[in-house]
Amino acid sequence: MFVIGYSSCTSEDKDEFFPQVDPTKNPSEEHEHTALWMWAPEGAVDSCWLDECRTKEFENTGKWLLFYHTKLLDKAWHRAKDLLASGELPGVIGIETTTANPGSYALSPNYDPEQGVLKFYGGSPEDEAGTRQLGEMIISKMNYHGTGRIGSYVRWGYVYWKSHAATQQGRYSSSSDRVSKFRLSYEPWQPEKILQEAGFDKATVEQLQQADKKRVDDFGNQLMKDWRSSLAKKAAIEVAAAAKAAGEAATAARAAANAAAATAKAAGAAAAAAEAAAKQAAAAEAAAAWAADMSADGADAGAKECAEGAAASNDKGMPKWDPLG
């Protein structure tokens, strides 16, 4: 565990990270700022896990997160302030609490208006042993046994350490992305015991738990409603996709039928053209035969006429007629 003196942290350095707000206020009474902050008094802290309070080094630290029912947050904040001011949280450089103003927290998918969180700054992602030791001390000094909530999204029985860098990046844990670097177990108590130990009477405890149960039921009903809506949307998308595919198939079938008809029409036209060509060829052949016959007949008639002419000439004592002259 590395611990370095706190003397290099100036008030200007501190103001760079957290605005000056009144830490004596109760979280439930603060509606302007989203957080209340208290630095560890320099004289009350032996050391802290920061080289100095400048941005580069500050981003190398983180905080242990303790979640509480908002009805318990005011008392928990006062307890943490007293411990810090009296030097009973060595290694913690400052504490922070959420308030009645959720700010950007309301945009988180895990936002719960009935749940707040205390943050104990200190530790380093490079010093697991020392950071865990710090967390164990915080759990013990705060006598922490759970949120006091029914149906809290925070896993029961564990507290988590998250780096300041992850916070600056806007990263939050989810079922698929665990942002916290370290975690520690604690002895969990049932919510009603936590509320009773905090001084709430039986009737108030029952009232708070009924409100919690209603919230859990409403949340479950909304999840079921969203799930059914999601299924309906998915089914509608699938039906639309199937209808589109069927329409495209019908269009393709019509196109194929049209192409087949065009092909058949073209084949018919080709057959008709072939038949016409055959008829023309037959006609040409007949014409050629007729011409040949006519030529043969003409030649025979000429020869006969020449022979007759020659004979006549001889009969009259004239020279023979030579058709070639």
The pLDDT tens digits of the residues spanning 168-211 come to: 666 665 545 567 889 999 998 888 888 887 777 778 777 776 77
pTM: 0.59
Percent of the chain with pLDDT over 90: 23
The string of DSSP letters for 126-178 reads T-HHHHHHHHHHHHHHTT----S-SS-SSPTTEEEEEEHHHHHTT----SS--
Structural domain includes residue 26: yes
Tell me which residues of the chain have a pLDDT lower than 50.
1-17, 44-57, 175, 321
Structural domain includes residue 304: no
Structural domain includes residue 310: no
pLDDT of residue 232: 78
Structural domain includes residue 143: yes
pLDDT of residue 119: 95
Tell me the CA distances in angstroms from 84 to 10, 89, 120, 220, 244, one per residue in order: 18, 5, 10, 40, 67
pLDDT of residue 131: 93
Total Cβ atoms within 10 A of residue 180: 17
CATH (domain of 72):
3.30.760
98, containing H or E segment? strand 94-98
- Residue 269, SS3? helix
Task: Give the contacts of 135 (CB within 8 A, at least 6 positions apart).
Answer: 64, 123, 159, 161, 182, 184
Q: How far apart are CA 149 and CA 192, in angstroms?
A: 9
pLDDT of residue 5: 30
Number of domains forming the structure of the chain? 1
Structural domain includes residue 281: no
Structural domain includes residue 284: no
Structural domain includes residue 231: no
257, containing H or E segment? helix 202-315
pLDDT of residue 171: 63
Structural domain includes residue 307: no
Which residues form the domain of 179? Answer: 11-200
- Residue 88, SS3? coil
Q: Of 168, 35, 14, 2, nearest to 93 (Cα)?
A: 14
Total Cβ atoms within 10 A of residue 269: 10
